[in-house]
């Protein structure tokens, strides 16, 4: 049988570091700690990560030492390969069951892997002895992300405000999420959703976790695991135009009337912003962080400059942030107030179009607006249901900071590895 080290060597010989990382996933919970550590060291040497290489070397030599296992797991989390951290951290916690740093780091690794149900089991297993901060806060957090709103709300009501101010922001974000998810469940029920905030209610959970409105659902692969998200999207002018139509509907239903459309500096952002200005009949102006009563239009915020994103975290009065393609597997640093769609990868329709931005924007504005018929397996998403949802949540929309939502939440979707 091929072991983890053999797989890693095979990919590294081809200079395929991402492939070598992927090859370890099937072994992460079955291989010995020593074998995993040796494989991780090979990856770290190839990537030039000296801290991870050193921690992996120590764990391979001393797999029965909790500190070595903690250091190895911590380094894996820090370098974005949290799936390799779970086994060594779990083993270290078995040896030192009362260690709060070990518990916290294992929960962090599980969170990075969106294994929220496992994090809930780990934390709730501590029973009444679980401290309030941060452990009970984390229990509420993961219970909500696992999809159990009622339990999260019940435990959240008993959680006292943190004494340490470093947790004040986290506490506020959690309270916003609990409030929004409760409101989203009632709104989806009123809008006629078959299972409000169930495992297929992508729009409801998107609002609850991010505070943003999701304009459209992918009409492809619903019954093949996509549940309303796209994996790879080859975008079109018609898709962009339909997104602007849903944006206009959302603004109308929420009673919001921005005075201008603010153009971000990216080419794709400017194209879509100019199209939005045409569709909505508003003047287009350059983006300024302090501008009030404006619609800021982005195509894909993951492509935006980090300094620009920081200016969008706390909105100016009346500022609304719209993003066309939101990367659900790698969310941007700020959550948009409106997202047309959720995708993993996107290719804009003007990628190879050298024409001026204004000409492409005019093509979008003149394109046919209407839902893609898709593969026929997606539940209907009529304008009326979307309007009813927006109307029901409008009082809470645009009332909290645009915090990043790193987890896709309890609605599963297939993705490329």
Residue 194 token pair = 């078959």
Q: What is the DSSP letter of 136?
A: I
Q: Are residues 106 and 215 in the same domain?
A: no
Cα–Cα distance, 395 to 289 (Å, whole number): 23
Find the CATH number of the domain harbouring 260: 3.40.50
Boundary residue ending a domain (113, 135, 168) = 113
Band of residue 309 on the pLDDT scale cut at 50, 70, 90: very high
Q: Are residues 55 and 203 in the same domain?
A: no
Q: Are residues 97 and 213 in the same domain?
A: no
CA angle, 253 as apex, 198 and 229 as ends, to 5°?
40
Boundary residue ending a domain (113, 145, 180) = 113
pLDDT for res 1:
39
- pLDDT digit string (tens) for 139-154? 999 999 999 999 999 9
Cα–Cα distance, 153 to 384 (Å, whole number): 30
Q: Are residues 108 and 217 in the same domain?
A: no
**Domain total in the chain:** 2
- pLDDT digit string (tens) for 334-388? 999 999 999 999 999 999 999 999 999 999 999 999 888 899 888 999 999 999 9
How much is the pTM?
Answer: 0.95
Q: Are residues 363 and 214 in the same domain?
A: yes
Boundary residue ending a domain (96, 113, 130) = 113
Band of residue 2 on the pLDDT scale cut at 50, 70, 90: low
In a domain, 293, yes or no: yes
In a domain, 226, yes or no: yes
325: which strand partners? 341
Q: In this model, does residue 138 exceed pLDDT 80?
A: yes
Residue 108 token pair = 């962090």
pLDDT for res 190:
87
In a domain, 98, yes or no: yes
Residues 328 and 345 sit within 8 Å (Cβ to Cβ): no
* Helix axis angle, 66-78 to 33-47, nearest 10°: 40
Domain range holding 227? 195-393
In a domain, 279, yes or no: yes
In a domain, 144, yes or no: no
In a domain, 10, yes or no: yes
Cα–Cα distance, 337 to 218 (Å, whole number): 19
Q: In this model, does residue 391 exceed pLDDT 90?
A: yes
What is the residue-averaged pLDDT of the chain? 95
- pLDDT digit string (tens) for 162-185? 999 999 999 999 999 999 999 999
Cα–Cα distance, 300 to 283 (Å, whole number): 22
pLDDT for res 192:
85
DSSP per residue over 231-297, as a string? SEEE--HHHHHHHHHHHHHHHHHHT---SEEEEPSSHHHHHHHHHHHHHHT--EEE--TT--SEEEE
In a domain, 209, yes or no: yes
In a domain, 139, yes or no: no
Q: Are residues 320 and 211 in the same domain?
A: yes
Cβ-based burial of 30 (10 A; exposed 0-12, middle 13-18, buried ≥19): exposed
- pLDDT digit string (tens) for 71-128? 999 999 999 999 999 999 999 999 999 999 999 999 999 999 999 999 999 999 999 8
Cα–Cα distance, 401 to 150 (Å, whole number): 24
Band of residue 3 on the pLDDT scale cut at 50, 70, 90: confident
pLDDT for res 279:
98
Q: Are residues 376 and 233 in the same domain?
A: yes
Q: Are residues 240 and 388 in the same domain?
A: yes
Q: Are residues 221 and 82 in the same domain?
A: no
pLDDT for res 417:
67
Find the CATH number of the domain harbouring 71: 1.25.40
């Amino acid at each position: 049988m091929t072991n983890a080290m053999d797989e890693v060597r095979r990919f590294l010989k081809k200079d395929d570091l991402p492939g070598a990382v992927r090859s370890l996933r099937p072994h992460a919970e079955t291989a010995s700690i020593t074998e995993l550590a040796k494989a991780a060291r090979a990856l770290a040497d190839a990537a030039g990560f000296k801290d991870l290489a050193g921690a992996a070397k120590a764990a391979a030599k001393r797999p029965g030492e909790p500190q070595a296992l903690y250091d190895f797991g911590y380094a894996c989390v820090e370098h974005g390969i949290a799936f390799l951290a779970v086994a060594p951290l779990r083993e270290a916690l078995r040896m030192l069951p009362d260690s709060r740093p070990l518990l916290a780091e294992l929960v962090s690794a599980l969170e990075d892997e969106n294994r929220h149900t496992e994090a809930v089991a780990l934390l709730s297993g501590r029973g009444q002895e679980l401290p309030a901060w941060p452990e009970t806060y984390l229990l509420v957090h993961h219970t909500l992300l696992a999809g159990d709103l009622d339990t999260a709300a019940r435990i959240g009501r008993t959680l006292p405000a943190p004494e340490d101010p470093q947790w004040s922001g986290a506490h506020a974000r959690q309270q916003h999420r609990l409030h929004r998810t409760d409101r989203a469940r009632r709104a989806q029920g009123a809008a006629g959703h078959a299972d409000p905030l169930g495992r297929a209610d992508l729009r409801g959970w998107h609002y609850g976790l991010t505070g943003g409105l999701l304009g459209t659902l992918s009409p492809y692969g619903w019954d093949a695991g996509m549940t309303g998200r796209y994996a790879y999207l080859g975008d079109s002018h018609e898709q962009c135009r339909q997104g602007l139509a849903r944006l206009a509907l959302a603004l109308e239903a929420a009673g919001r009337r921005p005075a201008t459309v603010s153009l971000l500096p990216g080419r794709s952002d400017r194209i879509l912003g100019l199209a939005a200005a045409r569709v909505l009949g508003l003047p287009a102006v350059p983006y300024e962080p302090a501008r009030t009563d404006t619609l800021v239009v982005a195509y894909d915020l993951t492509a935006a400059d980090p300094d620009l994103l920081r200016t969008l975290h706390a909105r100016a009065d009346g500022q609304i942030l719209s993003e066309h393609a939101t990367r659900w597997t790698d969310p941007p640093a700020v959550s948009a107030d409106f997202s047309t769609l959720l995708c993993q990868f996107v290719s804009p329709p003007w990628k190879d179009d050298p024409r001026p931005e204004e000409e492409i924007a005019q093509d979008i504005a003149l394109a046919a607006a209407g839902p893609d018929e898709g593969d026929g397996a997606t539940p209907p998403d009529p304008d009326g249901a979307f309007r009813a949802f927006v109307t029901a949540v409008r009082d809470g929309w645009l009332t909290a900071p645009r915090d990043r939502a790193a987890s896709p939440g309890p609605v599963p979707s297939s993705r490329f590895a």
